[in-house]
Amino acid sequence: MTTAYNPVTPEIVRELQQIVGERNVIYGDPEQLEKYSHDEVADRHYAHTPEAVVRPISAQEIAAIMRLANRALIPVTPRGAGSGLSGGAVPAHGGIVLSVERMNKILEIDPGNMMITVESGIVTNQINTVLEEYGLFYAGYPMSLETCYIGGNVAENAGGGKAIKYGVTDRYIHGLEVVLPTGEIIELGGKRVKDVTGYNLLHLMVGSEGTLGIFSKVTLKLLPIPKSKVDLLVLFKGFQEAMDIVPVIMTQTGIIPTAIEFMDKLSVQTTCQYLNEHLPYEEAGAMLLIEVDGASEAQVESQYEAIGELCLERGAMEVYVADNYTTQERVWKVRRNIAEAFKVYSPVQSAEDIVVPFAQIPDLLRDVDLLAKKHGILIPNFGHAGDGNLHATPIKPPDMTIEKWDEILPMLLEELYIATDKYGGTISGEHGIGSKRKKYLSLVLQPEVIELMKRIKATFDPNNILNPGKIFPETPDAVPTDV
Amino acid sequence: MTTAYNPVTPEIVRELQQIVGERNVIYGDPEQLEKYSHDEVADRHYAHTPEAVVRPISAQEIAAIMRLANRALIPVTPRGAGSGLSGGAVPAHGGIVLSVERMNKILEIDPGNMMITVESGIVTNQINTVLEEYGLFYAGYPMSLETCYIGGNVAENAGGGKAIKYGVTDRYIHGLEVVLPTGEIIELGGKRVKDVTGYNLLHLMVGSEGTLGIFSKVTLKLLPIPKSKVDLLVLFKGFQEAMDIVPVIMTQTGIIPTAIEFMDKLSVQTTCQYLNEHLPYEEAGAMLLIEVDGASEAQVESQYEAIGELCLERGAMEVYVADNYTTQERVWKVRRNIAEAFKVYSPVQSAEDIVVPFAQIPDLLRDVDLLAKKHGILIPNFGHAGDGNLHATPIKPPDMTIEKWDEILPMLLEELYIATDKYGGTISGEHGIGSKRKKYLSLVLQPEVIELMKRIKATFDPNNILNPGKIFPETPDAVPTDV
């Protein structure tokens, strides 16, 4: 899997310009290139400046770029909005960044089949904006919907807060147009909702982190917009009480909430301070934010009443009902701003998205607390309780030196991931492996499984041209080719 | 992909007996072997008798069998209940049938995580029987739930009548223990509900038709049992009126029904006659059987009232409400017995499961009618309207000679599949490709896509030992090795 790549020469640049037009190639402009050197991973150790950026407008242009890259042995890293959290869109080996930013058209809205087809560079939230008048929506969107691109969502199989009821990205991807690493353009799936024609390459592409193909078109399954929704903010003494109730809600009431989000005391207090907001009972040990939606107000009312009563019976300190937009926004704003708030508190941190079977979250939280104490750092806990997906975020205390932090973090992450594995979990529920977690992959996957994945990669990409240096542990870290 | 396989010799049989015990190897007993020579495909052209049948009890035994088969170059065909409809469990190249019939244990019920882990040879309906007391159920089951095995469901990514709301098998498969064709035992996924750790091998296995691995354990996600359900039998003049309403139900009421099943006049009349049953308005041109379920009686009542009113507004002739078990069973019995009824009418037929974007079903039905008239045969239409999955079943009229039928069928199927493709569909929504449809695969998949699938197969199974002769067009038909 190690390849000696060639640099992007002025001749290559001219060829790229012929494919996408002169103004769609960035080259020799350090300031512009720098913008494509990183994603949202805070640690700039994972950043790497590309030698050139190309901005194609069609699958045909992407295919021509890939054929050129194979011929010249130059790595290509596909890029959406750059909002990823694992280094997936970073050109770890230099070479070309292929940005889909110009491919942002809505190609077809088909309300009769409840499907939409878009280009991969569209901002995810725009899909829902145009769908509103049809009474339909795309339910697979992640928390970053206002900045991310759908193509990146597909590449990472992005998750989000509504997975418990609606699943994540992959449930809604019914069709893809993909440019293979070797330059062929293929169609997978379509507007049908069942398909068992050969192997499921469609869902092999979803979550492949830009290493098996570049998406040019995406066909998404839509759902009717719920007519009503209500949020409950439920306060508990501690996280054990909060988490114990999660499966009980579903089995006892028969209701699958849209979201069950979890926030610990540290997260709530830090975020309220950051937002200058006050939530009731900020001193509660843990909060659940439970959303229910449905086809009528009456249905939603009976649902939230059943859940609220159950929570109180089972020892919740208080249940607040947010049944209008303003109040709902107030509580969700706290949840959404936790990461931001901690960035202000201390920008040096490691955004994590470990996932365990949800009943094991209390066990995991106890281990996380011990780890934070052992290493003298902060680890606020928040995330998607209904999915067992925890954003345990190690944060450097403001008074700790960066050298100390750099020494601690790799050990801490390894211990955190080992704990996650011990409880039947894995190291990433929605952010992906990318470059950030590749050295930890073998903690959770058998060597035989990693070997199979590597062979699949080689099957699709014999020259290892597409997004090298990601996912697989032994791939070397960034090797500068821009001499 | 063509391999010269070796026959199963008495020495090989002795080795197999050492692995699984003498009484779990069937050899030299034509009557017993014949039982493993076919699945539920009516056409016995696709049957093939195995040289030996082995019945292992564990992943370790399966692994030992696969190592032996690789060493001796003998094909192995995994088999569940043999209830498949594409020849998937038939040993097309002879060799060994590996039956999981003894691996039928429930390994763990984990109500706290809403998960169950079972062995692959359990009858699918038994899973739901044991779960009843926990208020949980497995929603991915197909129509044949009372006979099929969960392992076969995973291999075929079995569908069913409730896909519109609940999806199909793959949505519920969260963990698999798999024996690879080369004999390694791997674990994929687990009891977590989100996982983006490397490529999605878990869902590459689902629907791989027993060609990429043999499943020994399956971990399934569960849902709360709905507290209430109601069926509506809605009568229409013709199929266009019936199908037009399908997306409107969902977008206008915001309700996703559990099932929207479609039956044409021919299907209803033939089945009522077979069952000696009378449904109201048997002469209606088309019927929809719409099921709604939910967490309370009130919720379900408001749902079926909204749907019923909408149907009447939009030109339905009549809406019958089946709100008790007896009446529900009466209407579903008709739906479930259509295939059986036509088998009695004329046993020579071809069970199909073509699928199109659901709004295109009326277009497809018109083409199907023309095809039936052109070839002078019957094609009743029934199936899962909400999924666009149509069981258009070509049937030999009792007075047509079998020679004539054998001449017509391949042409007819090709025309049927081409029509399906024209409307954005594909040739199988739930039964799989197997041996029955492999020669038609290239009608709906690009050569590049088939090539990728073949390379993946070779990556997993370099000796092409596991279930050869399936899926891929150019694999030769059954080549007898039992000389």
A380 and A427 assigned to the same domain: yes
- Is B112 in Cβ contact with A247 (below 8 Å)? yes
Q: Among B201, B224, B247, give the residue marking a domain's end.
A: B224
Torsions phi, psi for B454 (to 5 deg): -65, -35
Q: Which of A192, A298, A441 sits opposite B424 (nearest CB)?
A: A192
Query: What does the pLDDT look like over B107-130, one tens digit per residue?
Result: 999 999 999 999 999 999 999 999
- Return the residue in B137, B194, B261 with the most chain A beta carbons within 10 A, the one to mutate for interface testing: B194
DSSP A134: G
CB of B307 within 8 Å of a chain A CB? The answer is no
A352 and A320 assigned to the same domain: no
pLDDT at B281 over 80: no
Return the percentage of chain B with pLDDT > 70, whole number.
97
Cα within 13 Å of Cα(A3), Cβ side: 25
Residue B127 structure tokens: 């899973």
Q: What is the mean pLDDT of residues B409-437?
A: 97
CATH number at residue A437: 3.30.70.2740
CB of B57 within 8 Å of a chain A CB? The answer is no
Q: Give me the pLDDT at residue B2, please.
A: 52
* Smallest Cα distance from A95 to chain B, Å: 23
Strands (E), A305-392: 318-322, 354-355, 382-384, 389-390
Return the percentage of chain A with pLDDT > 70, whole number.
97
Q: Which of B198, B250, B424 sits opposite A471 (nearest CB)?
A: B198
In a domain, B84, yes or no: no
- Which residues are B91's β-sheet partners? none
d(CA B159, CA B170) in angstroms, rounded, equals: 9
- Return the residue in A196, A305, A471 with the most chain B beta carbons within 10 A, the one to mutate for interface testing: A196
* Smallest Cα distance from B325 to chain A, Å: 20
Query: What does the pLDDT look like over B204-244, one tens digit per residue?
Result: 999 999 999 999 999 999 999 999 999 999 999 998 899 88
Question: Which chain A residue is nearest to residue B304, measuring alpha carbons?
Answer: A295
pLDDT in tens, chain A (483 residues): 455 899 999 999 999 999 999 999 999 999 999 999 999 998 888 999 999 999 999 999 999 999 999 999 999 999 999 999 999 999 999 999 999 999 999 999 999 999 999 999 999 999 999 999 999 999 999 988 999 999 999 999 999 888 899 999 999 999 999 999 999 999 999 999 999 999 999 999 999 999 999 999 999 999 999 999 999 999 999 988 998 898 889 888 889 999 999 999 999 999 999 999 888 776 788 999 999 999 889 989 999 999 999 999 999 999 999 989 898 998 899 998 998 899 898 889 999 999 999 999 999 999 999 999 999 999 999 999 999 999 999 999 999 999 999 999 999 999 999 999 999 999 999 999 999 999 999 999 999 999 999 999 999 999 999 999 999 986 544 444 433
pLDDT at B199 over 90: yes
Cα angle A389-A392-A395, degrees, rounded to a multiple of 5:
160
* Smallest Cα distance from B376 to chain A, Å: 29
Of A98, A65, A93, residue with least CA distance to A7:
A93
B110's CB contacts (< 8 A; 6+ apart) are: A357, A359, B116, B117, B191
Question: Which chain B residue is nearest to residue A253, measuring alpha carbons?
Answer: B295
Which three-class secondary structure state does DSSP give residue B202? helix
- Is B110 in Cβ contact with A427 (below 8 Å)? no
Q: Which of A136, A226, A256 sits opposite B251 (nearest CB)?
A: A136
Question: Which chain B residue is nearest to residue A435, measuring alpha carbons?
Answer: B198
Q: Give the confidence band of B273 by pLDDT, cuts at 50, 70, 90.
A: very high
- Mean per-residue pLDDT of chain B: 93
Chain A residues whose CB is inside 8 A of the B384 CB are 194
**In Å, how far from its chain's centre is CA B94?**
23
In a domain, B97, yes or no: no
Torsions phi, psi for B322 (to 5 deg): -110, 100
In a domain, B178, yes or no: yes
In a domain, B199, yes or no: yes
Cα angle A306-A310-A316, degrees, rounded to a multiple of 5:
130
Q: Give the confidence band of B251 by pLDDT, cuts at 50, 70, 90.
A: confident
Chain B residues whose CB is inside 8 A of the A167 CB are 171
Chain B residues whose CB is inside 8 A of the A441 CB are 197-198
Q: Give me the pLDDT at residue B482, please.
A: 39
Chain A residues whose CB is inside 8 A of the B161 CB are none
Chain B residues whose CB is inside 8 A of the A112 CB are 247, 359
CB of B220 within 8 Å of a chain A CB? The answer is no
CB of B408 within 8 Å of a chain A CB? The answer is no
- Is A200 in Cβ contact with B170 (below 8 Å)? yes
Helix and strand numbers (H, E) in chain A are 16, 18
Q: Among B180, B206, B224, give the residue marking a domain's end.
A: B224
Interface of A with B in 237-266 (CB under 8 A): 247, 250-256
In a domain, A459, yes or no: no
In a domain, A111, yes or no: yes
CB of A133 within 8 Å of a chain B CB? The answer is no
Q: Among B189, B224, B259, give the residue marking a domain's end.
A: B224
Q: Which of B171, B187, B441 sits opposite A198 (nearest CB)?
A: B441
Helix (H) or strand (E) segment spanning residue A173? strand A173-179
B209 and B235 assigned to the same domain: no
Query: What does the pLDDT look like over B315-330, one tens digit per residue?
Result: 999 999 998 989 899 8
Q: Give me the pLDDT at residue A139, please.
A: 96
CB of A201 within 8 Å of a chain B CB? The answer is yes
A236 and A326 assigned to the same domain: yes
B314 and B373 assigned to the same domain: no
Q: What is the mean pLDDT of residues B418-438?
A: 97
A126 and A211 assigned to the same domain: yes
CB of B155 within 8 Å of a chain A CB? The answer is no
B369 and B405 assigned to the same domain: yes
- Return the residue in A109, A169, A187, A192 with the most chain B beta carbons within 10 A, the one to mutate for interface testing: A192
Q: What is the mean pLDDT of residues B50-62?
A: 98
Q: What is the mean pLDDT of residues B24-30?
A: 98
Q: What is the mean pLDDT of residues B346-375?
A: 94
CB of B194 within 8 Å of a chain A CB? The answer is yes
Domain count, chain A: 4
- Is B256 in Cβ contact with A387 (below 8 Å)? no
Chain B residues whose CB is inside 8 A of the A299 CB are 294, 299, 302
- Is B113 in Cβ contact with A359 (below 8 Å)? yes
Provide the residue type at B332 as one letter: W
Q: What is the mean pLDDT of residues B157-180?
A: 95
In a domain, A450, yes or no: no
Domain that holds residue B246: 228-339
Environment class of residue B287 by beta-carbon count within 10 Å: exposed (0-12), middle (13-18) or buried (19+)? buried
Cα angle A158-A214-A81, degrees, rounded to a multiple of 5:
50
CB of B431 within 8 Å of a chain A CB? The answer is yes
A277 and A300 assigned to the same domain: yes
d(CA B40, CA B120) in angstroms, rounded, equals: 19
Chain B residues whose CB is inside 8 A of the A225 CB are 254
Q: Give me the pLDDT at residue B16, please.
A: 98
Question: Which chain A residue is nearest to residue B450, measuring alpha carbons?
Answer: A198
pLDDT at B22 over 50: yes
CB of B450 within 8 Å of a chain A CB? The answer is yes
Chain B residues whose CB is inside 8 A of the A192 CB are 355-357, 388, 424-426, 429
- Is A428 in Cβ contact with B196 (below 8 Å)? yes
Q: Which of B134, B171, B197 sits opposite A428 (nearest CB)?
A: B197
Chain A residues whose CB is inside 8 A of the B204 CB are 199-200, 203-204
Neighbours of A32 (CB within 10 A): 11
Q: Give me the pLDDT at residue B3, please.
A: 58
Of A119, A159, A113, residue with least CA distance to A139:
A159
A407 and A430 assigned to the same domain: yes
Residue A89 structure tokens: 């869109």
Q: How far is CA A68 from CA A45, A75, A99, A183, B122, in A?
A: 29, 10, 16, 9, 52
A111 and A220 assigned to the same domain: yes
CATH number at residue A16: 3.30.43.10
B280 and B376 assigned to the same domain: no
Provide the residue type at A202 as one letter: L
Size of interface A-B (CB pairs under 8 A): 280
ipTM of the complex: 0.95
In a domain, A163, yes or no: yes
Which three-class secondary structure state does DSSP give residue B264? strand
B138 and B216 assigned to the same domain: yes
CB of A199 within 8 Å of a chain B CB? The answer is yes
| A2-11, B21-30, B290-299: segment of lowest average pLDDT | A2-11
Q: Give me the pLDDT at residue B45, please.
A: 87
CATH number at residue B135: 3.30.465.10
d(CA B391, CA B377) in angstroms, rounded, equals: 15
d(CA B479, CA B457) in angstroms, rounded, equals: 20
